[in-house]
Amino acid sequence: MNPIPAQPYDYPLPEHPKLALVIIDMQRDFLEPGGFGDALGNDVKRLQAIVPALKQLLDAFRALNLPIIHTLEGHQSDLSDCPVAKQQRGTGNLKIGDAGPMGRILVLGEPGNQIIPELAPQLDELVIPKPGKGAFYKTPLEEHLRDRGITHLLITGVTTEVCVQTTLREANDRGYECLLVEDATESYFPHFKQATLEMVRSQGGIIGWTASTNAILSALESFPSANSSSQLSSV
Ligand code: C5J
């Protein structure tokens, strides 16, 4: 199998099916007007730019029957899993739990909390709701990865310097080999995205690798397909 040409050096591909695609928080709350990202004063249109690259990665992983994990940032309707400090943070009119144009802000099950239709998970893909920025915090993610022997994670989604970077750092500390996909992650702040990419691959890849979607897709052409048992089911 060919490695993925990456920075700071090639990312070796593991045996099938130890490689998973992790898509962080591609939910309407962050990508559409009227959601949490908008309530915080951000230009949410910026994040739409990565949808085509994510779709390509999803198609490739589905074709190879490789594991796909989607996350959703959101809270229980009684906000019992939302620390007061998180709920009260910010200077906008709408806070977590308030009623907005897409339902209650950042509450699980609300219209704004759905993954955007273009990237909707299939039934055999794992969907992890998470109350924190990191996908390992108060979720069964680590157990699922361990049970399935997954060791390598391609990390994507939004926003680069918040939930994506937090998840990548959590995964790195747990021993996962993490590659951040350069054109499949986005931030409301271009300089934060750039800084994150540089941080991840600095010092010889201190917390991981970065590579483009095209480099990944080319390397995956040498990847053997496997039966559908590698897919995960929703929690
Ligand atoms: C934020 C996220 N930015 N998914 N969440 O609050 O990055």
167-202 pLDDT, tens digit per residue, is 999 999 999 999 999 999 999 999 999 999 999 999
For ligand 1, atom 5, which residue shows the shortest CA distance? 163
- Known catalytic residue at 193: no
Q: Which of 29, 82, 133, 163 is catalytic?
A: 163
User: Does ligand 1 come within 6 angstroms of the Cβ of 199?
Assistant: no
pLDDT over 50 at 234, yes or no: no
105-162 pLDDT, tens digit per residue, is 999 999 999 999 999 999 999 999 999 999 999 999 999 999 999 999 999 999 999 9
Residue 203 to residue 226: CA distance in whole angstroms: 35
Rounded percentage of the chain residues whose pLDDT exceeds 70: 96
- Known catalytic residue at 130: yes
What pairs with residue 103 in β-bridges?
A: 100, 101
Nearest to 7, CA basis, from 226, 203, 235: 203
Q: What angle do CA 67, 167, 54 make, to 5 degrees?
A: 50
What pLDDT is attached to residue 99?
97
Q: What is the pTM of this model?
A: 0.95
For ligand 1, atom 4, which residue shows the shortest CA distance? 163
What pLDDT is attached to residue 29?
96
61-95 pLDDT, tens digit per residue, is 999 999 999 999 999 999 999 999 999 998 888 99
The number of residues making up the chain comes to: 235
Pairing outcome for strands 152-158 and 126-130: unpaired
- Segment (H or E) for 121: none
- Known catalytic residue at 82: no
Q: What is the atom index within ligand 1 of the atom nearest the CA of 162? A: 7
pLDDT over 60 at 229, yes or no: no
Distance from residue 72's CA to the centre of ligand 1 (Å): 10
Distance from residue 215's CA to the centre of ligand 1 (Å): 27
Residue 202 has which token pair? 């600095």
